[in-house]
Amino acid sequence: MIELQTALRIAGAVFFLIAVILGVFRPNLFELSPLKRAIRAYLVVLAAMGVAMLLGIVHTPNKAKSPLEWRTDVEEALQFARDNQKPAILDAGASWCASCRQLEEKTLKDAEVVKALENHATIHIDMTDFDPAQERLAKLGIQINELPKILFFMPDGRLNPGATLSDYEPPSKFLDRIKESATYMEQAYDPVGTWLSEKGIFIALLLVFLAGLGVSLTPCVFPMFPIALPALAGIHRGDRSGQLSFSKRLARASAFLGGMVVTYTTLGIVSALLGKGFGSWLQHPIVTWTLVIIFLLLAMSYLKFFNLSLPSGLTSKLGRRGDGLLGLALFGGGIGIIAAPCAGPVVVGILAMISTAGNVALGAIFMVAFSLGLGSLFFALSLFTSMLDRLPRGGPFMERIEIGFAIALTTVAIYYASTVM
């Protein structure tokens, strides 16, 4: 019998092939009637759903009741564990926490994990209403500032800080954690510190820079180039008659890049100051649904339902101000803000890592590296305008690329939506 996840992947491949056969990649979007454009949008959604199913993004939640008895009175459960010399595990989660649901559905209901926890006192606390739950735990000397959070207690009632888990972990790794929790560990595991020690700070910064560069090539940021370059270099739709001198282009591109760097560096510092709770905030449904809406709007723009562009008056105003460096810095910061949610998976991952480390200097340095990567192509194209000739022009090929971008953006929107549904 075929497993459900395998069946979903087969269905995903069928959906994608149907969308291709029905013409999802046919060009001439501008020539389509509103009805045909709506049909094209439906095919894009069908193709994106197929990709999501192939990648395992779409899955059926595990609603089976856990065979373990999860107690909800924390104080009583911990006392029971001490009286019976049992180790205890406390699972803190919330309905709005995507990683919490992953842990509870995939890991804590896994047959081998259930067997490994049979001798534990299992405790669950619902922190959907975060502050009151946090206050109750604080009275017991338990501090929880982020979700998900899984705490292990020794049979004598002591918290085992080295076994603490603060993110989703697959069953295989969680089984190792359960075994290790039998030994008291004073030092909590630091995933960021471990990663940095393994990679080295320069390799880590290079990877973050390359992540920023990669994001600049995504369908999220690509539309910003024709918006920004007229203001940076004086080039309008390939017309170089108004091109500025190299020194002016250098000054303007530097101001633009500086604004982007300041924006992301501030974001990194705020993330580090807020600490680990920032990672939990990023999982809130309001944030997640906002990202879903942004991705879908961007996908619609690629399908020509509307065009993303600055008002012509503002673009020409920025283009005329040869010395308006402050305005260009604000412009760069603004594009950085627009691009941030579009680069969601990368930015959220870096910010979550920074918030976990809680290191302000590290947060600033990482986001400087990321923003330099993100803005490097804007900077290079502004200075070396001959590179613009090598960029692909309009036509059927570019239209197919844009449709592919729309499918990719819709797939990401489906992923984010799946974490809160």
Mean pLDDT by 10 residues, the chain (421 residues): 74 93 82 80 93 79 76 90 93 82 87 93 86 76 82 92 86 92 74 62 83 77 72 63 77 90 81 58 74 85 72 52 69 74 62 61 82 89 74 69 86 82 69
pLDDT at site 71: 92
pLDDT at site 1: 43
Domain 70-189 annotated CATH 3.40.30.10: yes
Closest CA to 385 of 253, 255, 266: 253
pLDDT at site 395: 67
| Helix spans in 343-359 (H) | 344-357
> How do beta strands 88-93 and 149-153 pair?
antiparallel
Tell me the β-bridge partners of 121.
88
Angle at 62 between CA 56 and CA 66, to 5 degrees: 145
pLDDT at site 319: 47
Give the list of residues 6+ apart from residue 15 with CB closer than 8 angstroms, or none: 46, 47, 49, 50, 53
Q: At what angle do helices 285-302 and 325-342 cross, to 10 degrees?
A: 100
Q: At what angle do helices 325-342 and 224-233 cross, to 10 degrees?
A: 170
pLDDT at site 391: 61
pLDDT at site 236: 57
pLDDT at site 273: 65
Closest CA to 147 of 113, 185, 97, 111: 97
Whole-angstrom distance, CA of residue 407 vs CA of residue 409: 6
Residue 270, number of CB atoms within 10 A of its CB: 16
pLDDT at site 381: 84
pLDDT at site 91: 93
Question: What one-character DSSP code corresponds to residue 182?
Answer: T
pLDDT at site 289: 84
pLDDT at site 419: 72
Phi, psi for 335 (deg, rounded to 5): -65, -35
Whole-angstrom distance, CA of residue 157 vs CA of residue 87: 8
- List the domain boundaries for the chain: 4-54, 70-189, 194-390
Residue-by-residue DSSP string for 261-301: HHHHHHHHHHHHHHTTHHHHHTTSHHHHHHHHHHHHHHHHH
